[in-house]
Structure 1
Amino acid sequence: MAAWKQILIAAVVLVIATAAWVRFFPGAPEILERWGIDWAVASTPRTDDARNAAQAGSAPRQATVVAAPVTSATVNDRLQAIGTGRAKATVSVNPYTAGRLVEFDVASGARIKAGQVIARLDSETEEIALERAKAQRDDAKAKVDRIRALRSSNAATAVQLTDAELELRNAELSVHDAQVALDRRSVTSPISGVVGILPIEAGNYVTTQTSIATVDDRSSILVDFWVPERFASSIRIGSTLTATPTANPRNSYEGTVTAIDNRIDDKSRTLWVQATIANPADSLRAGMSFQIVMKFPGDTYPAVSPLAVQWGGDGAFVWAVEDGKARRVPVRIIQRNTETVLVDAEIDSGDIVVTEGVQSVRDGGDVMVARTGAARPAGTPAGS
């Protein structure tokens, strides 16, 4: 095919595409006017109303539209998350030294106090060492008493008395050391709480790495949960929340935020938060899952019908009706819901926006509202 024919075909296709864009794209006339191409606007086909008006020698009549009032809705006002509970304090009790486990002084599920003996190891060697240390202490004390008596009659020197007192002090420390070694043959709980299932039986040989028992302080339950980063600035220490056990949704508990992590996790984009729930009835257990609900003031935005949102060359906009005139209002979409679209725009709740008949509306043109649609409930979208 000759080059001039290819150029001619390309020019024809371009002209047809341009004419179709001017004819069918809603924002084309406005864009061409901003570019200063008035001839293209004049060449676009007129609507029947405009043609009739031109033939009658008068201005185009009012555009007839259907409109609806603007409502309002709140976002980021409610947080829902799943949390995992754990005991206020949990301790795995290990013996200080190795030895044969002789007996348990508690049973699984028993409530114990801090310092209470849980189990005992064989302690014959430590008992003998304690008695020997006590005998040496008593001998050293008697020696000091004798030297003091001799010292009063100048039969002993001050150096002899000092050496005897030092020997007595060392003997008392030996007694204390032997007593500590004997006491450590009794395994005690460092916290108050409930004893879990005992993992071993009496008679087993244990070391310092052997767990004798696990003790949980369930006076309160700590719940760990993770929240989206958009709520990071809204959560504070002391903020209240409601925790509902997943396994028993009929019961709910009030709690407070007691700890907040100092950074956002860069993989999940969530913030680690910890809450405390009182457990006076001991009905909650570590490891339970909870449905966490928190409420915030949130952000309120105008809500319009999805039909009211139009798109032009410069983005989204709506047609607001003020005193019978149409006003083009640029909008920024915040959130799309089933029945409404939340927008950031210079409109208020109660304002009227066009939902049907937008194709005949022009900025500043006369508008006649044939029917005002009922305001759809905006609701309060969940924030999580």
Structure 2
Amino acid sequence: MSHSGGILTKRMLLMLLGCLLLFGGIFAFKMFGQYMMNRAFDTMPLPAATVTSATAEMQTWREKLSAVGTLRAVNGVEVTTEAQGVVSAIHFQSGQTVRKGELLVEIAAEPEKAELQVLKAELRLARRNHERVKALHARGVTTEADLDNTRSALDQVLANLEVQRAEVNKRRITAPFSGALGIRRIDLGQNVNPGEAVVSLQQLDPIYVDFSLPERHFASVARELPVTLTTDAFPGKTYSGQITAIDPRIDSASRNFLVQATLANPEKHLRPGMYADVAVQIDAHRRVLVIPRTALIFAPYGNAVFVLQQGAQGDGTIASKRFVKTGEERGDLVEILQGLRAGEVVASSGLLKLRNEGAVIINNDNPPPAKIDPKPENS
């Protein structure tokens, strides 16, 4: 019985060993096949990527000074009251455009107007008295002193009348200049005091931009130099103007000096208080190496380009990745400080399809824009 049991155990061990060998062989065969397949894919040449190309070229750029500016109205005030009283009429709407001298608000002035009528009556009487004494003086009936007294009384009434007219006019608030009104600050029937704000009035066209520059640029800046301006409120839009004033004083704390430029603003896009990026074109030039911005690969560890060259074996064009150091950007172009030479060709589109030392096909039928002063098609 024990002999037969030992034989059975040996057979089971042999069967188990055979199964292990069988399944192990199958697994090894599959692993070998997967390895060979991956190796084939790794060594398989990728199809050439189609890209556009651009040549790194030297250009002459006019020097530009950059600054942060604040927009300010040529004329901008808080329209206030001069007299105390109750608002009897409001002749404007918030946000309305008004012209110089246009009536905005009336303050009740009944007592002042009544006093004006009294003075007008006194004026008529003073004139009649003066004319009567003047006629009598001509006939030698009255003295020179009588004539002077009536003349003095007439002048006094005239002066009082002008004072009273001014008091009445104080209750008529008009626009001191043409511009755009802000939000109304008073209500009908409100009792206002002298100096109380009625509404903001801003002249928007033209408009000023004030900005500061370091003192080392003082000799380079002059009146009438061109200025360009951009603002986050209207991205992609550029506004042009020129320098109209330079403060002769250098700030002792910041060592900067204040510059003011004037810009046309017919569409009223630019508003007082806006932040703006300002660029001043000065009378200086420099030579720069440029490529289109679309040729750059932006990465946290550095910017790079794909340089297009003939393969070592004469097997077509290949793309070699190269890190570069960039400088100023203008329009569609970017300045290259290090990493490229003039005349080298780079890929300007299709960069996501490229790999280092990969084959490429150049097709420049529809290249990306590469202008220093791009303009929208609808501008």
Give the shorter-chain TM-score range: 0.5 to 0.7
The reply to whether residue 241 of structure 1 matches residue 245 of structure 2 is: no
The reply to whether residue 182 of structure 1 matches residue 168 of structure 2 is: yes
Q: Which amino acid aligns with 2:175?
A: S
Q: Secondary structure at the match of 1:250?
A: coil
In the other structure, the counterpart of 2:247 is 261
Partners in 2 of 1:226 and 1:107 — Cα distance?
37
The reply to whether residue 209 of structure 1 matches residue 195 of structure 2 is: yes
The residue correspondences of 1:5-84 to structure 2 (distance < 5 A) are: 77-84=63-70
In the other structure, the counterpart of 1:230 is 216
Partner residue of 2:180 out of 194, 213, 233? 194
Deviation at 1:375, TM superposition (A): 4.4
Q: Secondary structure at the match of 1:100?
A: strand
In the other structure, the counterpart of 1:296 is 282
- Aligned-pair identity in percent equals 29
1:292–1:143 CA distance, 2 compared to 1 (3 A): same
Q: Secondary structure at the match of 2:75?
A: strand
In the other structure, the counterpart of 1:46 is none
Partners in 1 of 2:153 and 2:283 — Cα distance?
74
RMSD over equivalenced CA pairs, Å: 3.0
In the other structure, the counterpart of 1:22 is none
1:266–1:152 CA distance, 2 compared to 1 (3 A): closer
1:207-256 Cα offsets, whole Å, 9 max, x none, are 22211111101111111112233322111011111112222232111110
Partners in 2 of 1:300 and 1:118 — Cα distance?
55
In the other structure, the counterpart of 1:97 is 83
After superposing the two structures, state which structure 1 stretch, 178-187 or 240-249, moved more: 240-249
Q: Secondary structure at the match of 1:169?
A: helix
Q: Which amino acid aligns with 2:141?
A: A
1:301–1:276 CA distance, 2 compared to 1 (3 A): closer
1:198–1:154 CA distance, 2 compared to 1 (3 A): same
After superposing the two structures, state which structure 1 stretch, 130-139 or 96-105, moved more: 96-105
Number of aligned residue pairs: 243
Partner residue of 1:273 out of 252, 256, 259? 259
1:127–1:300 CA distance, 2 compared to 1 (3 A): closer
Deviation at 1:282, TM superposition (A): 2.0
1:290–1:162 CA distance, 2 compared to 1 (3 A): same
The residue correspondences of 1:324-343 to structure 2 (distance < 5 A) are: 338=325
- Stretches of structure 1 that go unaligned for 5 or more consecutive residues are 1-70, 304-336, 341-372, 378-384
In the other structure, the counterpart of 2:355 is none
TM-score norm. by structure 2 comes to: 0.58
TM-score norm. by structure 1 comes to: 0.57
Deviation at 1:123, TM superposition (A): 0.2
Partners in 1 of 2:194 and 2:234 — Cα distance?
40
- Stretches of structure 2 that go unaligned for 5 or more consecutive residues are 1-56, 290-323, 328-338, 344-379
Partners in 2 of 1:300 and 1:218 — Cα distance?
36
In the other structure, the counterpart of 1:87 is 73
Deviation at 1:166, TM superposition (A): 1.4
In the other structure, the counterpart of 2:133 is 147
Q: Secondary structure at the match of 2:220?
A: coil
Q: Secondary structure at the match of 2:205?
A: strand
Q: Which amino acid aligns with 1:79?
A: L
Partners in 1 of 2:163 and 2:151 — Cα distance?
18
